[in-house]
Amino acid sequence: MDKHLGFVGLGKMGGPMASRLIDAGYQLTVCDVRQDLVDALVAKGAKAAASPQAVADAAETVLLSLPDPAVVREVALGKTGVIAGTRVRTVIDLSTTGAVAAREIAAVLAAKNIAAVDSPVSGGVGGATKGTLAVMVACPQAQFADLEPMLKTFGRVFFIGEAPGMGQTMKLANNLLSATAMAATAEAVAFGMKAGLDPATMIEVINSGSGRNTATTDKFPRAILPRTFNFGFTNAMMYKDARLCLEEATAAGVPMPVGQVVRDQWLKVVEALGGETDFSTVALFAERAAGVEVGKA
């Protein structure tokens, strides 16, 4: 494939991914609403573009890393969006939009002879920086073979299926489990603290036993016990992903009673602590409810 790529969305996930592409020898034309983020990539050798359309005028393959379905729709299909570009032939969406939006966007792009690749990622800012993300790709098999070497720049690449939306379904299932692990672990540790247990010891024991999960192995040791609450993913984004998962499960006729509780819990966290706070602060929400402080004797 062409070594010249377009990249729109240079935030917490997109910035590190775009940087890794430059380090891997790709030429990038980039765009973001924040000029400082564009400037940081230009300093590494990227070319700046004034709009998603301008990115798509410059590159045949354009990658998107954006916060929600509405923004992805606007960037991909808007008046000055990628769809208006003269050179673009493939759009790779690394965002989490849900399967419904992925299918809708793919259909509109297809009418303009532009292929849509549904390719959400998981692994957080740390994974984006280190190149250890899980990359979930849905597109025709032949196209996957062409794109896989480039996508490996981000981490481990999985072929999920050929239909648009299959990657999104995989991502939403993954993130619902992540949200569940965080919320449940926060409550369990607060419960132990209320009884006088040491939270660090609790995490160590859990990680040696059957309760081990992604919250106990990563989030608590890295961002909660040290009281930094800086894992790099917001409460609003976690709520958005849980909500999307439940909406699509309902449309598919799949009951998710546990998922409903998790979604509702994350809405309460957003309402109490704010959407832009780090999602590791779900522990603070549990602490306040229990009248304890995790990480303090």
User: Does residue 171 carry a catalytic annotation?
Assistant: yes
* Rounded Cα distance, 3 and 284, in Å: 45
* Rounded Cα distance, 111 and 295, in Å: 55
In the chain, count of helices (H) and strands (E)? 13, 9
Alpha helices in the chain (DSSP H): 14-23, 35-42, 52-58, 69-77, 99-110, 124-130, 141-151, 166-194, 199-207, 214, 235-251, 257-273, 282-290
Which is catalytic among the residues 171, 194, 219, 240?
Answer: 171
Q: At what angle do helices 35-42 and 14-23 cross, to 10 degrees?
A: 10
- Nearest in space to 106 (alpha carbons), one of 166, 156, 151, 149: 166
Asked if 119 and 138 count as a contact pair (C-beta separation under 8 A), the reply is yes
Asked if 289 and 273 count as a contact pair (C-beta separation under 8 A), the reply is no
Strand partners of residue 133: 155
* Rounded Cα distance, 273 and 275, in Å: 7
Q: DSSP class of residue 89?
A: -
* Rounded Cα distance, 88 and 153, in Å: 21
Amino acid identity, position 261 = V
Strand partners of residue 278: 234
* Rounded Cα distance, 32 and 21, in Å: 16
Residues involved in catalysis: 171
